């Protein structure tokens, strides 16, 4: 299979590209570099452009004999999505639909969607399995869910089979230390904590200590980005072998509180950075833990870096080696 990866210069996308290259797939990365980094793409063909550009997409499919796609290009900040629904609907949905249509017309019949736990909204129970009601509480999650639903109709009309991967909290970095997480602005807990350990921030603020959890702080299911990347390969190969369309959660099925992350980072980095307790951040559910049994059963996926300590250690290696991210 020759594979087109949109958003392949981003945090998760660059890890997917690296994993594909490791297995000798021919990879074409399409990224408009609005958020991604050219330096994060470790090989294959790189094209700067928009996935919503139908003519470009059709040309790439023809020129490179693309038979499968991994679609990660999207805006993904939950907070921003609430104040700029127009931007999220236009980019994630509008461009997403243009992209799908171009692929269908060009004859591509295998599609992996980068989706999110944000499709579930406020959990009614945990661990959250795929049967949990999907009632997103933010625009970002809403756009991903709508794209999943649109995929069902494209399958009916064009025979395009898909796998949607609903990630929980992606974290960590490639253990080789060559690629990692570099967002601007940075909003995610683990990279922020790494920046505090490097002395680039004077403190970490814990958003809320009065949640109904064992230590009062939010619990999340952190999954190593390389484990996520491997899941994309398994999904692509399942589609290649004739497998059906499917939706899978991706998490470690284990929750860690904000305090645990902070303590683990202090231990791993050896830096006793300042931690402050602050008010809750709007829209944060108390607990998000995945039930990931379905992808384990169907595709044989197993997390390799399941321990929080390993996730934080690989993040630390990247941040320490690249204190200014890709700009350094
Ligand atoms: N947190 C802090 N202080 C900070 C930053 C974060 O206490 O400075 C807390 C948050 O309140 C939350 C936890 O750390 O409880 C994790 O926060 P992140 O921002 O790292 O991640 P989220 O759980 O908010 O969001 C992530 C992805 C989303 C996705 C969501 C779905 O970034 O894109 O998981 O599970 F939608």
Is omega for the bond preceding 185 within 30 degrees of 0, making it cis?
A: yes
CA of 5 to the centre of ligand 1 (A): 25
Per-residue pLDDT of the chain (328 residues; tens, 9 = 90+): 999 999 999 999 999 999 999 999 999 999 999 999 999 999 999 999 999 999 999 999 999 999 999 999 999 999 999 999 999 999 999 999 999 999 999 999 999 999 999 999 999 999 999 999 999 999 999 999 999 999 999 999 999 999 999 999 999 999 989 999 999 999 999 999 999 999 999 999 999 999 999 999 999 999 999 999 999 999 999 999 999 999 999 999 999 999 999 999 999 999 999 999 999 998 899 999 999 999 999 999 999 999 999 999 999 999 999 999 998 6
Q: Which CATH class is domain 2-171+224-250?
A: alpha beta
Q: CATH for 189-221+253-321? A: 3.90.25.10
Which residue ranges does the chain devote to CATH 3.90.25.10? 189-221+253-321
Tokens encoding 247 = 């939706």
For residue 281, give the ligand 1 atom closest to its CA: 11
Q: What is the C-alpha separation between 215 and 43, in angstroms, rounded? A: 44
* Residue nearest ligand 1's atom 1 by CA: 189
* Residue nearest ligand 1's atom 36 by CA: 118
Instruction: Find out whether the beta carbon of 128 lies less than 6 Å from any atom of ligand 1.
Output: no
Please choose from 10, 117, 188, 210 the residue to mutate so as to test ligand 1's pocket, defined by most ligand atoms within 8 A of CB: 188
| pTM listed for this prediction | 0.98
Which of the residues 11, 88, 120, 140 is marked catalytic? 140
Given the cut 0.90, state whether the ipTM is greater than it. yes
Instruction: Find out whether the beta carbon of 25 lies less than 6 Å from any atom of ligand 1.
Output: no
Q: What is the C-alpha separation between 149 and 302, in angstroms, rounded? A: 27
Instruction: Find out whether the beta carbon of 78 lies less than 6 Å from any atom of ligand 1.
Output: yes
Side-chain half-sphere exposure of 219, counting CA atoms within 13 A: 20
Which residue ranges does the chain devote to CATH 3.40.50.720? 2-171+224-250
Residue 25 is a catalytic residue: no
Instruction: Find out whether the beta carbon of 205 lies less than 6 Å from any atom of ligand 1.
Output: yes
CA of 34 to the centre of ligand 1 (A): 22
Contacts of 270 (CB under 8 A, 6+ apart): none
Please, what sign has the CA dihedral across residues 222, 226, 227, 229? positive
């Amino acid at each position: 299979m020759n594979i087109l990866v949109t958003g392949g210069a981003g945090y998760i996308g660059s890890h997917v590209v690296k994993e594909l290259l490791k297995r000798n797939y021919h990879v074409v990365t399409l990224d408009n570099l609005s958020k991604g980094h050219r330096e994060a793409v470790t090989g294959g063909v790189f094209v700067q452009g928009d996935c919503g550009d139908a003519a470009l997409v059709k040309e790439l499919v023809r020129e490179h004999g693309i038979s499968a796609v991994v679609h990660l290009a999207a805006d993904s900040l939950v907070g921003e999505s609430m104040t700029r629904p127009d931007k999220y609907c236009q980019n994630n949905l509008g461009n997403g639909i243009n992209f799908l249509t171009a692929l269908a017309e060009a004859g591509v019949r295998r599609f992996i969607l980068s989706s999110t736990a944000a499709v579930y909204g406020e959990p009614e129970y945990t661990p959250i399995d795929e049967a949990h009601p999907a009632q997103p509480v933010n625009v970002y999650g809403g756009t991903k869910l709508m794209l999943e639903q649109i995929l069902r109709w494209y399958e009916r009309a064009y025979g395009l089979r898909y796998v949607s991967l609903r990630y929980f909290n992606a974290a960590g970095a490639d253990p080789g230390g060559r690629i990692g997480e570099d967002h601007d602005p940075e909003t995610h807990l683990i990279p922020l904590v790494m920046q505090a350990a490097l002395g680039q921030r004077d403190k970490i603020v814990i958003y809320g200590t009065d949640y109904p959890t064992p230590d009062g702080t939010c619990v999340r299911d952190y999954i190593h980005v390389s484990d996520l990347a491997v899941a994309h390969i398994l999904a692509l190969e399942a589609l290649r072998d004739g497998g059906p369309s499917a939706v899978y959660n991706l998490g470690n099925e284990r929750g860690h509180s904000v305090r645990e992350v902070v303590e683990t980072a202090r231990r791993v980095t050896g830096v006793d950075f300042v931690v402050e307790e602050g008010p809750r951040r709007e829209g944060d559910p108390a607990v998000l833990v995945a039930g990931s049994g379905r992808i384990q059963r169907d595709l044989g996926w197993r997390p390799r870096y399941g321990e929080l300590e390993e996730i934080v250690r690989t993040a630390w290696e990247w941040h320490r080696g690249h204190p200014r991210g890709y700009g350094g």
